[in-house]
Amino acid sequence: MSRLVRPTLIVGVVLALLGFANIIGTATPSNAATAITVSTAIGRQDGTVASVTGYVVGQPTATNTVVRSNFPNNYALALADSATQTSTSSMLYVQITSGFRASYGLQSNPGLLGQKITVTGSLGAYFAHPGLTNTTAFSGGGTTDPPGDPGDYYAGAAGKSGAALKAALHTIISSQTKLTYDQVWDALEVTDQDPNNSNNVIEVYSGRSIAKSSEGGGVDDWNREHVWAKSHGDFGTATGPGTDIHHLRPEDVSVNSARGNLDFDNSGTAVAQCTGCTADSDSFAPRPAVRGDVARMIFYMAVRYEGDDGFPNLEVNNSVGNGTAPYIGKLTVLKAWAAADPPDAFEQHRNDVIYNQFQHNRNPFIDHPEWISSIWP
């Protein structure tokens, strides 16, 4: 007596003939599977197709080199599992095929830096480095999703005030990527870009819009002004307080020289080439529109640098003429400036750019101006 053919077998044969074998029991293609992490992709360089999700951390230009500004073209980007990753060994180099360069190339879309995207391609070497090549799909990047969303960024400071708040904020903002003094030039071209002219930067004290290409030391050039004067604590241009772009700003060479290492106060006579600025023998005042900005930069520095990382303990006091001591004043004036000139869109955008693209830390007094009076009542 012959055996009956099982119905499930018949169904399976029919589906196979119709090209639907994947519906029952066989593996789906890897590019249709759940996206893998960057670390998984780095460890699985086997030529298979996969979707990888990670943060855009720069553009690879060589096996061990990834740039974070002045992107040379739209042909490649680097992904990592953290937006603050700086080690190239933890990055996946992604080839951007021609159809996606306009939307995902970093030269055309520098704002992608720090954003989370998903890319589909073949897991294989690129720039002689673990990579993803022959890419066929890109998604994401419409909204920034950096490490420690600002909504959670200050969780450690919740409910605190006074000295406890200062200590909590110090811990939070001390987690940062540090720049070299040469990298500061490139960073300031992004953080202080004129919103009305992408070829220019805005000088902090004078407010003048000047060509990015005019950086240098000549007359009417712009250079790197340390708002917390570097001699106040003698930290110079060392990586750390000397290169922290939360207080480094573009400024006209002659105005920078006129400010020198003066403390801040309301007095003095007009400063040449700096409408609204005044100075005397022991103090300087910028134009009114940025006095609050200056105050918040000073308060940031006093919280960020507490003497526990090899640099001086920077503090704000109520004096002028502080000289080389690690102090800057005048506290009462700076508090009044901060209250009279609250954070504006330019200052808030600058804080976001520093957080998303460069140092990955924030100035808490731009986000929460009320914390100034809590720490310095």
**pLDDT at position 31 over 90:** no
| Cα dihedral sign, 343-349-353-356 | positive
- pLDDT score at 144: 40
Q: Using one digit for the tens of pLDDT, what is the confidence trace for 153-179?
A: 999 999 999 999 999 999 999 999 999
3-state class (DSSP) for residue 166: helix
End-to-end CA distance of the chain: 98
Q: Is the peptide bond before 212 cis (omega within 30 degrees of 0)?
A: no
pTM: 0.64
Cβ-based neighbour number of residue 106 at 10 Å? 26
Per-residue pLDDT, averaged over 250-254, amounts to: 97
117: enclosing H helix or E strand: strand 116-123
Amino acid at 343: P
Please state, rounded to an integer, the average pLDDT across all residues of the chain. Answer: 88
Q: Is 45 exposed, middle or buried (0-12, 13-18, 19+ CB in 10 A)?
A: middle
| Distance in angstroms (rounded) separating the CA atoms of residues 91 and 87 | 7
- For tokens 């939360």, name the residue: 246
Amino acid at 348: Q
The better pLDDT of the pair 235, 144 is held by: 235
pLDDT band at 141 (very low <50, low <70, confident <90, very high): confident
- pLDDT score at 33: 47
**pLDDT at position 195 over 70:** yes
Cα separations (Å) of 64 from 84, 151, 263, 324?
A: 17, 34, 43, 40
- The percent of residues above 70 in pLDDT, for the chain, comes to 89
- pLDDT score at 341: 94
- pLDDT score at 34: 76
For the chain, give the number of residues: 377
β-pair type (76-80, 92-95): antiparallel
Per-residue pLDDT, averaged over 76-80, amounts to: 96
Q: Using one digit for the tens of pLDDT, what is the confidence trace for 313-344?
A: 999 999 999 999 999 999 999 999 999 999 99
- Ranking 131-145, 199-213, 315-329 by mean pLDDT, the lowest is 131-145
Rg (the chain; Cα; Å): 26
Fill in the DSSP letter of residue 228.
S
| Distance in angstroms (rounded) separating the CA atoms of residues 91 and 77 | 10
pLDDT band at 18 (very low <50, low <70, confident <90, very high): very low
- pLDDT score at 32: 36
- pLDDT score at 26: 31
- For tokens 């420690």, name the residue: 148
pLDDT band at 353 (very low <50, low <70, confident <90, very high): very high
pLDDT band at 142 (very low <50, low <70, confident <90, very high): low
Query: Is the distance from CB of 178 to CB of 239 less than 8 angstroms?
Result: yes
